[in-house]
Amino acid sequence: MQYRRLGRTDLEVSLICLGSMTWGRQNTEAEGHAQMDLALDRGVNFIDTAEMYSVPVTAETYGRSEEIIGSWLAARGTRDRVIVASKAVGPGSRFGHIRDGRPRLNREHLTRAVEDSLRRLRTDRIDLYQLHWPERSVNSFGKLGYVHVEDEDAIPIAETLGVLGDLVRAGKIRHVGLSNETPWGMMSFARIADQAGLPRPVSVQNAYNLVNRSFEVGCAEVAIREDMGLLAYSPLAGGWLTGKYAGGARPAGARMTEFADYFRRYGGESGQAAIAAYVALAREHGLDPARMALAYVNARRFTTATIVGATTLEQLAANIDSVDLTLGDEVLQGIEAIQARWSNPCP
């Protein structure tokens, strides 16, 4: 396993981070435990979760992924061997089951969110606590173009950081991270933190994969210059870049088989054409398409960790193996040619 420094902290996290959003929905508690056992044995010391998981989100499965991690930590006694990251939801009409149904990134909600996550995780601290998405309206989750909302009632960044600072001083969280953020947001959080002596974000968790390289446009420079490395989620584009859905195939239990409506961003004509081209490129060079896609993300200078999710141990082992693959010049040239033809078709 390879390890990289988390921002400007003293933490070294594994290049592969184990994602947990299927646990409690597509995976049972026992299967989640088995995945964590395998990952830890293979050198993975970084686990990512969120208060809203598992996905797709329902009131019945809210917090279940954290509970599964908590029962594993308690059963295995592994708390000091892993770095645990979780996230607090921002505003959204889909989350009537979370707190009062109108979650915000203010003192009341963040304090309660942290306390609830600590209880579910059965731990006294969260190593990396992330804001799942901004309080303000931004162009994320399938949007490339920014549309400004005038007079938006958003909690100020300084207020949110002030609450997180108190939680750091209380020892409940160690470090702060962002998610689904923009270059403006990343720089604003860093600037305000530096000016006010508040916790500086050490990472940003955004989508990044071969069919969505929009992070490179503005966020990549901030990530490198401000030591706010990318925790890349959806590196396999919801499983599409594995090639398992080629030709209309829908394997039993797979995400697109079970929850196709939840991941529509990959279904467009341009996206499907690009995905087919990447799968063909991998096979042309004798590579597994999934390993090629992950190896590309792993090798980016701005990447701190690549978050992989799996529903089987075989999938997880193969994903972890991607750290051993270095892509050759011909493969990289082929990737750039496809990107030039179909640029970011699945944001």
Mean pLDDT of the chain: 94
3-state DSSP assignment of residue 163: helix
Residue ranges of domains in the chain: 3-238+298-325
List, in order, residues 6 or more apart from 274 with CB less than 8 Å away: 210, 211, 338, 341, 342, 345, 346
Q: Which of 327, 302, 237 is nearest to 274 (CA)?
A: 237
C-alpha–C-alpha distance, residues 26 and 165, integer Å: 35
Query: Tell me, what's the pLDDT at 253?
Result: 67
53 is annotated as an active-site residue: yes
C-alpha–C-alpha distance, residues 32 and 158, integer Å: 37
C-alpha–C-alpha distance, residues 106 and 154, integer Å: 10
The two three-digit tokens of residue 221, written as one number: 């420079």
User: What's the whole-number mean pLDDT along residues 89-110?
Assistant: 89
C-alpha–C-alpha distance, residues 82 and 127, integer Å: 9
Whether the pLDDT of residue 252 is over 90: the answer is no
Buried b (16+ CB within 10 A) or exposed e, 246-272: eeeeeeeebbbeeeeeebebbeeeebb
Query: Tell me, what's the pLDDT at 178?
Result: 98
Among 3, 53, 62, 233, the active-site one is 53
Q: pTM for the complete prediction?
A: 0.95
C-alpha–C-alpha distance, residues 84 and 123, integer Å: 10
C-alpha–C-alpha distance, residues 249 and 242, integer Å: 12
User: What's the whole-number mean pLDDT along residues 228-253?
Assistant: 88
Comparison of pLDDT for 145 and 71, the residue scoring more: 71
Comparison of pLDDT for 78 and 251, the residue scoring more: 78
Q: What is the CATH architecture of 3-238+298-325? A: Alpha-Beta Barrel (3.20)
C-alpha–C-alpha distance, residues 52 and 136, integer Å: 19
Query: Tell me, what's the pLDDT at 142?
Result: 76
Query: Tell me, what's the pLDDT at 144?
Result: 85
C-alpha–C-alpha distance, residues 3 and 12, integer Å: 6
